[in-house]
Amino acid sequence: MEASAINPGTRSVAEDCASAKSATRALASSSTGVKNQALVSIAAGLLERADSILAANAEDLADERAHGLSEALTDRLRLDHSRVEAMAEGVRAVAGLDDPVGELLERRTLRSGIELSKIRVPLGVVAVVYEARPNVTIDCAALTIKSGNAILLRGSSYAERTNSALAEVVREGLSEAGLPVDSVVLSTGGGREQLAELATQDGVIDLLIPRGGEGLKNALKAVATVPVMYAASGNCHVYVHSKADLEMARAIVVNAKVSRPGVCNAAETLLVDESVAREFLAIVLPDLRDAGVELVGDERTVAASSGVPVAPAGESDWDTEYLDLKLAVAVVDNLDAAIDHINRHGSGHSEAIVTGSEEAALRFTTEVDAAAVYVNASTRFTDGFEYDMGAEIGISTQKLHARGPIGLRELTTFKYVGLGNGQIRG
Amino acid sequence: MEASAINPGTRSVAEDCASAKSATRALASSSTGVKNQALVSIAAGLLERADSILAANAEDLADERAHGLSEALTDRLRLDHSRVEAMAEGVRAVAGLDDPVGELLERRTLRSGIELSKIRVPLGVVAVVYEARPNVTIDCAALTIKSGNAILLRGSSYAERTNSALAEVVREGLSEAGLPVDSVVLSTGGGREQLAELATQDGVIDLLIPRGGEGLKNALKAVATVPVMYAASGNCHVYVHSKADLEMARAIVVNAKVSRPGVCNAAETLLVDESVAREFLAIVLPDLRDAGVELVGDERTVAASSGVPVAPAGESDWDTEYLDLKLAVAVVDNLDAAIDHINRHGSGHSEAIVTGSEEAALRFTTEVDAAAVYVNASTRFTDGFEYDMGAEIGISTQKLHARGPIGLRELTTFKYVGLGNGQIRG
């Protein structure tokens, strides 16, 4: 375990968490102007210090540990001038978003005469555990500063030097705006034990967001006692109904699978209504094949595939998030069977029906249990920017607190404030 | 483990959960009218079947297991005609509340042209684990039916026969309204192993609410992988500021401690500003003593107690929820010290300041981190009925999802519904 520039001693995870906690009271009281000033300073600092950030990044990339990384992971770790500029631009964009803190959600006079207000307030300390993607350091810091939260950033040791350089810029920006530098704490090093220590900081960590694979999620599920919001896996479906415009369906299916197969809102399974299966598969399967998509299907799909190679799907295919140019295809008897399939196998992320029937659309959107349900649109639209929510920290497939994109408002809670003039309860 | 009337075989917890899950799709689509019809039928059924409910309750009370219960617990278990009538009245009151399901929370047209709606929907399956209080069976069933959720009720074996009789009435009411009887499933028997089985039904149980002591909460924290909302403990404070109207403060402190000491919104600690300590303690301590309150205090309080017995407080007193006629009292230097004390020792439930200063009030309500903060009012007002939210399933001191009273809306989530006309993402 190496010491980071920000954290030169060997502080424990609990000490890092306590530092972040110490910043929460000042942060919760800080004005929108002060928070925006910090963000603007951070954006400027990123550009001014780009060379030293890139130098730190080059050291991370040159480290022998990084030699084992796949090309895709190395690409995620690598920064260049345009990526630093994009980070700065992202921070400025967060400065331009509405401040969620202080929003009056409800106000009423109770029978007792107490004036009760329900007011949006920061959560307190948010912790994010993430992989070797330095832009996450900046994105998450910006979102938490704007929402009045302190953040504990637990990045990957692969990105240790880059993250330290970035965190230094962030803390300087905080300091220039008069906010506590411990509003953003970088906690590096250690393994599963430190993760478990983090996940059990009850009363200190108000929300823990793991961004990473299923292994990280399962490790946390086993030990976490603090509130956790799991960034989503997306086993998303497109269902082509009997009343679908098949040309529209064709475009949507190809878009949902092919436009960016590695993201959570990409489709993983195509369900085709039996009544249009032969006709639709004849047009969509060649498109998918030509786009390089590997196809697996149920018996009826294989039978109707006329010349396009479709391998028989195994039972596990219906539950798999390929995150790749691969698609499972099934023919279903009707709308009910499609909804059943989705509710059984889906991960509650994004689901789409293509149909010209309003009745079918209403049943689908009511009965499918997912964060986002679409009628005649691609699943790919589930995204904070597309939803006009600004930057997001991830997509939630949980039902509690936040469902769908986790933006600024989803990083807040509320409190009831009751103003009285001596009320006592009878 | 005895078989219940409702569950005559020996079904596993997982089977009970699956039964409840099977009801969710029909429930989520059911109209307000149908849900209200079920509630009205249940209310009528409770009155019609009062004699058999009371007979079952008499058997529970006569059971040798019940002989070990304290007087207070026996009183909670005992039903009589007026308590059955109160349950029926409570169910009718829930029928009169607004249906949260289907509420349009937001609607906007995205740049893509998609019409995006954010719509309130049921959570799915709610599980409640509770002690031997038969009224909880009915209260929780009514709230979940109205909010379109299925419920798994895990009551105490002490109340097994009573709960079975009540559940039978509930299920008949559901059936009369054409709702699935498995919307309400009573799961009885078994111990910690069954509790662990319940707490790990990922993808089936959408929310688990334990109502019970710290032992139950800690047992769940160690094993739960499903979302849990812990009904609150309340270590609540009243802070008497230097600018307080001392007669108002006196009435609020006595009310907050004495009016119902066994509930979570009762005050457990009094903080008095140093500048008014001698004057205020001279009037409030005799009142508290006369009301039978046992007093413990810090050094300055003991020194200023002039004749009223105040025992020295130990460090643990500041963290203790007495739920009894006992109060810890401390003199604090100023507003900052009061906020520090509350944020360190409070449980985030309900906190009050008595002050004539708007500036002090604003700092207190902004910087104290709790579900409810009051200015010049008793902590006792944190309550679903007082807040005009109707019945509640408990009070949450969590920050995620629901904070404060957990009523109908807090038993819902939302989904995004996107209506397009062929949108694909570029």
pLDDT tens, A175-203? Answer: 999 999 999 999 976 678 889 999 999 98
For residue A387, which residues of chain B lie inside 8 Å, CB to CB?
Answer: 110, 116, 416
Q: Are residues B195 and B138 in the same domain?
A: yes
Are both B181 and B243 inside the same structural domain?
A: no
B4 pLDDT band (50/70/90 cuts)?
Answer: very low
Averaged pLDDT, A390-394: 87
Q: What is the pLDDT of residue A106?
A: 96
Query: Looking at beta carbons, which residues of chain B come within 8 Å of A400?
Result: 123, 206-207, 227, 229, 400-401, 413
Instruction: Give the containing element (helix H, strand E) for A290.
Output: helix A277-290
> Higher model confidence: residue B221 or residue A383?
A383
Confidence of residue B1 (pLDDT cuts 50, 70, 90): very low
H or E element, residue B360:
helix B358-367
- A189 DSSP assignment: -
Same domain, A286 and A213: no
pLDDT given for residue B330 in this prediction: 98
Residue of A nearest to B113 (CA): A377
Q: What is the DSSP letter of B276?
A: G
Parallel, antiparallel or unpaired: strands A326-332 and A115-122:
unpaired
Same domain, B162 and B67: yes
Collect all residues with Cβ–Cβ distance below 8 Å to B27 and sequence separation of at least 6.
B122, B145, B148, B149, B150, B179, B180, B183
Using CB atoms, pick whichever of A28, A375, A401 lies closest to residue B366: A28
Residue B236's pLDDT band (boundaries 50, 70, 90)? very high
Among A201, A379, A387, A416, which would you mutate to test the B interface (most chain B Cβ atoms within 10 Å of its Cβ)? Answer: A416
Same domain, A45 and A119: yes
Q: Are residues A208 and A163 in the same domain?
A: yes
Mean pLDDT of B246-253: 98
DSSP classification of residue B61: H
pLDDT tens for B293-347 read: 999 999 999 999 989 999 999 999 999 999 999 999 999 999 999 999 999 999 9
Closest to A170 (Cα-Cα) out of A355, A35, A266, A263: A35
CATH number at residue A98: 3.40.605.10
Overall domain count for chain B: 2
- Strand-pairing partners, residue A396, are A231, A404
* Contacting residues of B for A24, CB less than 8 Å apart: 369
**What is the ipTM metric for this complex?**
0.92
pLDDT at B73: 87
Single pTM value for the model: 0.92
Distance between the two ends of chain B, CA-based, in angstroms? 60
Nearest CA in chain A to B255: A424
What is the distance of C-alpha B195 from the center of its chain? 20
Q: What is the CA radius of gyration of chain A?
A: 24
pLDDT digits (tens, 9 = 90+) for A135-174: 999 999 999 999 999 999 999 999 999 999 999 999 999 9
| Set of chain A residues whose Cβ sits within 8 Å of the Cβ of B365 | 415, 417
Same domain, B195 and B297: no
Provide the token pair at B44: 């009528």
First to last CA, chain A: 60
In a domain, B399, yes or no: no
CB-nearest to A419 from B370, B375, B417 is B375
Cα B238 to Cα A375: distance, rounded to the nearest angstrom? 53
Q: Which is higher by pLDDT, B3 or A239? A: A239
> Under an 8 A CB cutoff, do B252 and A382 touch?
no
Look at residue B233 in the predicted model and tell me its pLDDT: 83
**B212 and B93 within one domain:** yes
What span, in angstroms and rounded, lies between the C-alpha atoms of A61 and A213?
Answer: 22
Residue type, A406: I
Nearest-CA distance A375 → chain B (Å)? 5
Together in a domain, A317 and A335: yes
Q: Cβ of B424 and A251 within 8 Å?
A: yes
**A399 domain-assigned:** no
* Chain segment A70-93, per-residue pLDDT in tens: 888 899 999 999 999 999 999 999
Chain A residues whose beta carbon lies within 8 Å of the beta carbon of residue B206: 399-400
Residue A330 maps to which CATH number? 3.40.309.10
Report the C-alpha gap between B410 and B404 in whole angstroms. 10
Question: Are B418 and A124 within 8 A, CB to CB?
Answer: no
Query: C-alpha angle with apex A289: A284 to A291, nearest 5 degrees?
Result: 95
pLDDT at B212 over 80: no
Write out the residue range of the structural domain in which residue A289 sits: 236-381
Chain A nearest CA to B206, separation (Å): 7
Number of other residues whose CB lies within 10 A of the CB of residue A376: 23
Neighbours of B261 (CB within 10 A): 19
User: Could you report the per-residue pLDDT of A130-142, keeping only the tens digit for each?
Assistant: 988 999 999 999 9
Summarised one tens digit per residue, pLDDT across range A93-113 is 999 999 999 999 999 999 999
Residue B400 lies in a domain: no
Under an 8 A CB cutoff, do A373 and B416 touch?
Answer: yes
| A108 falls within a domain | yes
Low-confidence winner among A60-64, A237-241, A337-341, B420-424 (lowest mean pLDDT): A60-64
pLDDT, average across residues B415-419: 98
> What's the pLDDT band for B65 if we cut at 50, 70, 90?
confident
B363 interaction partners in chain A (CB closer than 8 Å): 29
Beta-carbon separation of A25 and B229 below 8 A: no
Say yes or no: A203 and A282 in one domain.
Answer: no
The residue of chain A with its CA nearest to that of B396 is A415
Report the residue of B147, B416, B419, B421 to disrupt the A interface, i.e. the one with the largest count of A CBs within 10 Å. Answer: B416
Give one DSSP letter per residue of A263-285, joined into a string. STTSEEEEEEEGGGHHHHHHHHH
Q: Is residue A390 part of a domain?
A: no
Q: Between A and B, how many residue pairs show a Cβ–Cβ distance under 8 A?
A: 210
Contacts of B148 in chain A (CB under 8 A): none
> What's the gap in Å between the CA of A377 and the closest CA on chain B?
5
For residues B403 and B393, is the Cβ–Cβ distance under 8 A?
no
The runs of H, that is alpha helices, within B64-133 are 71-77, 81-95
Distance from the Cα of A60 to chain B's closest Cα (Å) equals 33
Same-domain status, B88 and B46? yes
Cα-based torsion angle of the residue sequence A18, A22, A24, A27 in order, rounded to the nearest 10 degrees: -140
Tell me, yes or no, whether B326 lies in a domain.
yes
The chain-wide mean pLDDT, for chain A, equals 94
Q: How many CA atoms lie within 13 A of A89 on its CB side?
A: 6
Determine, yes or no, domain membership for A423: no
Residue A249 lies in a domain: yes
What confidence tens digit (pLDDT) does each residue in A280-333 have? 999 999 999 999 999 999 999 999 998 999 999 999 999 999 999 999 999 999
Domain co-membership, B152 together with B273: no
